[in-house]
């Protein structure tokens, strides 16, 4: 069984769109958004995947969500059938934190025809071999200090080192200030992260904020040799589910 996020009560968040960020930005993709996360970012734009009623972990909006209205549980074959029905050759598995459900994901992927599979992860969990052999790309987004997560939970040295050595892993850092960029540069040096697999992306859920932060971030990216990512889906669709 897989536990998925919901677009509306009872409707799993499985949809076709364009990849909005990271190394595959602009590519047509099928998305599957899973529920539950082991971290709690104060600026998380998918808090409905984890901040359920009774969860008091900090979030800047202070909102919580009814679990029954925001989670859907489906058999792996039902998820695979919905993915196949949307067509395409690229699958993006996001969350929440997908690797919390790695065994069920491996079973689901084994039911699908060959696809380019991307997993978006916060980088704290090692993928087990049964899943790892089916994945073509990891979009690893380690959470910096401004996320509100303790470094001991969010920045696990052995995991960061392993991702840095995996040529399938692209690092995508969410930044909002000069201090965040400094933290990225320190992590790049500490773990010898390839500049070809490291991106910085402005934090924000509205076009105006993203554009302002892109203008601020662009010269810093150029100065330090950092690859810059936008959030295309926000410009196209706004901060909405299923897009």
Give a yes or no: residue 231 inside a domain.
no
Cα–chain center distance at 200: 13
Rounded Cα gap, residues 207 and 213, in angstroms: 10
Give a yes or no: residue 20 inside a domain.
yes
Q: Is residue 128 within a helix (H) or strand (E), and if so which, with residue range? A: none
State pLDDT tens for residues 116-167. Answer: 999 999 999 999 999 999 999 999 999 999 999 999 999 999 999 999 999 9
The closest alpha carbon to 5, from 66, 96, 83, 132, belongs to: 96
Q: What is the pTM of this model?
A: 0.97
Residue 18: give the domain boundaries.
Answer: 2-173
State pLDDT tens for residues 40-86. Answer: 999 999 999 999 999 999 999 988 999 999 999 999 999 999 999 99
Cβ(230)–Cβ(201) under 8 Å? yes
Give a yes or no: residue 147 inside a domain.
yes
Residue 99 has pLDDT above 90, yes or no: yes
Angle, to 10 degrees, between the axis of helix 178-191 and the axis of helix 157-165? 70
Angle, to 10 degrees, between the axis of helix 76-86 and the axis of helix 102-109? 50
- For the chain, the C-alpha Rg in angstroms (whole number) is 17
Give a yes or no: residue 232 inside a domain.
no
Number of domains in the chain: 1
CATH of the domain at 64: 3.20.20
Q: Is residue 182 within a helix (H) or strand (E), and if so which, with residue range? A: helix 178-191
Q: In what order do the strands lie in the sheet with 90-94?
A: 14-18, 28-33, 90-94, 116-121, 137-140, 169-175, 198-202, 227-228
């Amino acid at each position: 069984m897989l536990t998925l996020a919901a677009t509306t009560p009872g409707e799993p968040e499985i949809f076709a769109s364009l990849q909005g960020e990271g190394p595959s930005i602009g590519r047509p993709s099928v998305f599957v958004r899973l529920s539950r996360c082991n971290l709690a970012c104060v600026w998380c734009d998918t808090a409905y995947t984890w901040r359920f009623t009774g969860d008091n972990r900090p979030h800047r909006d202070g909102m919580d969500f009814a679990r029954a209205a925001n989670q859907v549980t489906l058999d792996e074959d039902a998820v695979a059938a919905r993915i196949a029905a949307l067509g395409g050759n690229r699958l993006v598995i996001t969350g929440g934190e997908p690797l919390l459900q790695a065994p069920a994901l491996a079973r689901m992927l084994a039911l699908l025809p060959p696809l380019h599979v991307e997993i978006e992860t916060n980088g704290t969990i090692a993928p087990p071999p049964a899943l790892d052999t089916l994945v073509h790309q990891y979009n690893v987004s380690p959470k910096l200090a401004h996320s509100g997560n303790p470094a001991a939970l969010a920045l696990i040295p052995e995991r960061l080192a392993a991702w840095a050595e995996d040529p399938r892993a692209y690092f995508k850092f969410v930044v909002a200030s000069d201090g965040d960029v400094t933290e990225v540069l320190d992590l790049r040096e500490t773990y010898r992260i390839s500049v070809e697999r490291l991106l910085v992306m402005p934090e924000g859920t509205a076009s105006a904020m993203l554009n302002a932060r892109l203008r601020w971030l662009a010269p810093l990216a150029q100065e330090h040799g950092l690859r810059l990512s936008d959030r295309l889906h926000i410009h196209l669709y706004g901060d909405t589910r299923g897009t």
